[in-house]
């Protein structure tokens, strides 16, 4: 019995003393771009991408970096772009690293709810490949709002890059635009047309609460405009972004 116990102790000691091979874990969305690559650390990335690495230290995404697991899961740059050894060995070969300007899958690993919103009836065509997350968001940027990775100058600037016609200038601007387009729209996707947060009068009434509702315009609740459609589709405020002719956003 003593001999058997001694043998087991020796076996356990041998296994415990055997050097363990480091396992590099690459998430599935990395494997096509960097199959067989290893993590090299942001210091290596900085030799070519000095400005990106410097700016990233002030970015919101930098706060989720996990130290102590650099050789296993990757941190900082490689947390999103995948392990970079093959990219480095290839002299900056862009096919050996995940390019977020071409592939959104890295973003969706954390932002699952946004991927779901892109599948709603009305949405920006991100999953169709016509728009990228980086068209609106700067994951490296230091001059961004911490909750959106959009320029601190304002969310609207991002929207106006594509929707310039809504920017104006207009003689009578909808004051909601001074706050954000997202007051009325969900930029990722919605069950309502035009990515509206709501597709009825409640969208407007949450800001324009009035004691005379629903008899707006001296009409009864049963025959007035309020029962004929939304504020912008019932023949009243047909220019919800702004008007050059009417302070009530008509025509």
Do residues 55 and 62 touch, judged by C-beta distance below 8 A?
Answer: no
- Sorting pLDDT into bands at 50, 70 and 90, what band is 19? very low
Domain ranges for the chain: 14-107
Task: Note the pLDDT of residue 191.
Answer: 95
Do residues 235 and 171 touch, judged by C-beta distance below 8 A?
Answer: no
Residue 123 has pLDDT above 50, yes or no: yes
pLDDT in tens, 77-103: 888 888 888 999 999 888 888 888 888
Average pLDDT for 197-210 = 84
Render 24-79 in DSSP notation, one character per residue: P---HHHHHHHTT-----HHHHTTT-HHHHHHHTTSGGGGG--TT-TTTT--THHH
Do residues 122 and 186 touch, judged by C-beta distance below 8 A?
Answer: no
Q: pTM value? A: 0.73
Residue 109 has pLDDT above 90, yes or no: no
Q: Which residues pair with 191 in a beta bridge?
A: none
Residue 76 has pLDDT above 60, yes or no: yes
pLDDT in tens, 139-184: 887 766 666 666 645 678 888 888 988 887 888 888 888 778 888 9
């Amino acid at each position: 019995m003593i001999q058997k116990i001694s043998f087991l102790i020796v076996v356990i000691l041998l296994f415990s003393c055997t050097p363990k091979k480091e396992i590099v874990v690459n998430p599935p969305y990395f494997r096509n771009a960097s199959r067989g690559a290893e993590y090299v650390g942001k210091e290596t990335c900085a030799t070519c991408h000095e400005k990106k690495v410097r700016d990233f230290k002030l970015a919101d995404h930098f706060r989720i970096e996990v130290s102590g697991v650099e050789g296993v899961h990757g941190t900082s740059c490689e947390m999103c772009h995948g392990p970079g050894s093959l990219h480095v060995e290839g002299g900056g070969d862009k096919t050996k690293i995940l390019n977020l300007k071409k592939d959104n899958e890295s973003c969706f690993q954390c932002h699952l709810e946004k991927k779901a919103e892109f599948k709603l009836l009305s949405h920006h065509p991100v999953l169709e490949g016509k728009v990228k997350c980086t068209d609106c968001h700067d994951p490296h940027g230091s001059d961004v709002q911490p909750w959106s990775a959009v320029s601190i100058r304002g969310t609207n600037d991002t929207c106006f890059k594509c929707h310039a016609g809504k920017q104006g200038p207009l003689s009578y601007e909808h004051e909601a635009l001074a706050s954000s387009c997202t007051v009325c729209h969900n930029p990722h996707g919605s069950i309502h047309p035009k990515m509206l947060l709501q597709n009825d009068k409640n969208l407007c009434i949450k800001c324009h609460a009035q004691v005379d509702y629903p008899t707006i315009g001296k009409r009864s609740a049963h025959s007035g405009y309020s029962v004929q459609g939304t504020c912008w589709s019932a023949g009243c405020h047909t220019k919800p972004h702004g008007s050059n002719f009417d302070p009530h956003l008509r025509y």
